[in-house]
């Protein structure tokens, strides 16, 4: 009999923005509309300049990068009300509720440590039922002398929890946060919120693609028990539109014909879902409903410049169906996006994903969605 894993950590300290909450979209939308006032255009490629920073540092970076004719303090006073209006629209990161509920149900102490002011933190989490009560401690950037990357906020959190820093697991999305957690002497899991940044997080003890990929048992914490035959049930989500010509590599290079949708039309919904391999049901109006496996992301092997969605309908079609309306009901998750040493290993993995999806969709848990109303009704124009 295998020896049980020794308990590596006894509590979890979580960052908020970008880790538990998908704040990046709201920040981009607010800055995009605000900068128009000064004839400037928000450039998402500069997002790394503000992710994980204190509010003052992030504001100073925007003022400097866009050469705004105002002081940092004036910028803060102008932008704060705009953000306050939008916090009610904030969404939890996929896997956030699952993680909080799991740790709470197993009695694992949790703390929230964010560079945001305490009042902001409490406002944001007030929109999520049960979150505030789940945390033994909430500590904001305005309650310490120095924000992240200083370790002070994490050291203070451990002190208030009356635990040794080495028994804490930190979960962070930004470089300043990871730096702070390691400097505090804690174990750190990085969940980078910005794409194609994983290579920068070398100081983290582990890098995962999303909270869906967290394996608590690696840290001596209770394992999730919701994986079923290599799949994770998720809250279903839906997407649809005309099938477009993709990169031409699905059939030609991989021998796997994918039915691509325009990523440009769905960039907002794609930004809410981590890259990775998912599965569900697909409907073509004149043909029927089929099992489907799909990838979302940048496809590291081909190094896409944009986040794409590439569904593979698990059926042999005799002809192309470009222009036909495709509707997808995504009901489960298989794995994170990964790179592969060779084309053969990539193809083999895609076929393995297909088999997992094929089998899982026979389970009542997933098969019921074949009758989902979304797959039955016609798409309105420009949906």
Query: Which residues does the annotation mark as catalytic?
Result: 15, 17, 310
| Cβ atoms of 262 and 244 closer than 8 Å | yes
Euclidean distance between CA atoms 235 and 93, whole angstroms: 12
Euclidean distance between CA atoms 119 and 123, whole angstroms: 6
Euclidean distance between CA atoms 377 and 322, whole angstroms: 20
Instruction: Report CA-CA distances (Å) from 254 to 30, 214, 230, 245, 332.
Output: 41, 30, 23, 15, 24
In angstroms, how far is the first alpha carbon of the chain from the final one?
56
| Cβ atoms of 204 and 178 closer than 8 Å | yes
| Cβ atoms of 208 and 189 closer than 8 Å | yes
Closest-CA residue to 346 (of 338, 355, 334): 338
Give all strands of the β-sheet with 288-297 in edge-to-edge order. 232-242, 325-335, 276-284, 288-297, 308-313
Euclidean distance between CA atoms 237 and 370, whole angstroms: 13
Q: Residue 253, by phi and psi: left (phi above 0), alpha (psi -120 to 50) or beta? A: alpha
Closest-CA residue to 327 (of 259, 277, 265, 273): 259
| Cβ atoms of 178 and 188 closer than 8 Å | yes
Per-residue tokens: 32 = 């995009």
Q: Using DSSP, state whether 64 is helix, strand or coil.
A: helix
Q: Using DSSP, state whether 61 is helix, strand or coil.
A: helix
């Amino acid at each position: 009999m295998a020896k049980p894993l020794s308990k590596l950590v006894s509590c979890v300290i979580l960052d908020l923005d970008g880790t538990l909450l998908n704040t990046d979209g709201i920040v981009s939308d607010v800055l995009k509309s605000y900068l128009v006032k000064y004839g400037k255009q928000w450039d998402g490629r500069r997002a790394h300049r503000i992710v994980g920073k204190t509010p003052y540092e992030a504001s100073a970076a925007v003022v400097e990068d866009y050469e705004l004719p105002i002081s940092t303090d004036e910028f803060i006073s102008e932008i704060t009300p705009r953000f306050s209006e939008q916090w009610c629209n904030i969404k939890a990161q996929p896997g956030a509720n699952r993680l909080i509920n799991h740790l709470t149900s197993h009695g694992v102490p949790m703390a929230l440590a964010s560079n945001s002011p305490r009042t902001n933190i409490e406002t944001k989490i007030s929109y999520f039922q049960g979150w505030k009560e789940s945390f033994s401690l909430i500590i904001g950037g305005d309650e310490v002398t120095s924000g992240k990357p200083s370790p002070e906020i994490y050291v203070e959190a451990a002190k208030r929890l009356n635990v040794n820093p080495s028994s804490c697991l930190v979960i962070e999305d930004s470089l300043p946060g990871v730096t702070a957690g390691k400097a505090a002497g804690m174990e750190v899991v990085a969940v980078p919120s910005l794409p194609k940044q994983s290579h920068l997080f070398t100081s983290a003890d582990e890098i995962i693609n999303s909270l869906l990929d967290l394996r608590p048992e690696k840290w001596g914490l209770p394992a999730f028990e919701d994986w079923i035959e290599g799949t994770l049930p998720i809250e279903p989500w839906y997407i649809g539109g005309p099938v477009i010509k993709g990169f031409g590599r699905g059939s030609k290079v991989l021998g796997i014909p994918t039915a691509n949708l325009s990523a440009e039309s769905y960039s907002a919904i794609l930004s809410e879902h981590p890259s990775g391999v998912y599965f569900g049901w697909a409907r073509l109006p004149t043909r029927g409903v089929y099992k489907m496996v799909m990838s979302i992301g940048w496809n590291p092997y081909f190094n896409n410049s944009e986040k794409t969605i590439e569904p593979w309908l698990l059926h042999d079609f005799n002809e192309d169906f470009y222009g036909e309306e495709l509707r997808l009901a995504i009901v489960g998750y298989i794995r994170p996006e990964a790179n592969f040493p060779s084309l053969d290993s990539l193809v083999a993995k895609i076929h393995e994903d297909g088999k997992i999806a094929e089998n899982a969709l026979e389970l009542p848990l997933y098969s019921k969605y074949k009758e989902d109303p979304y797959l039955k009704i016609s798409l309105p124009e420009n949906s």
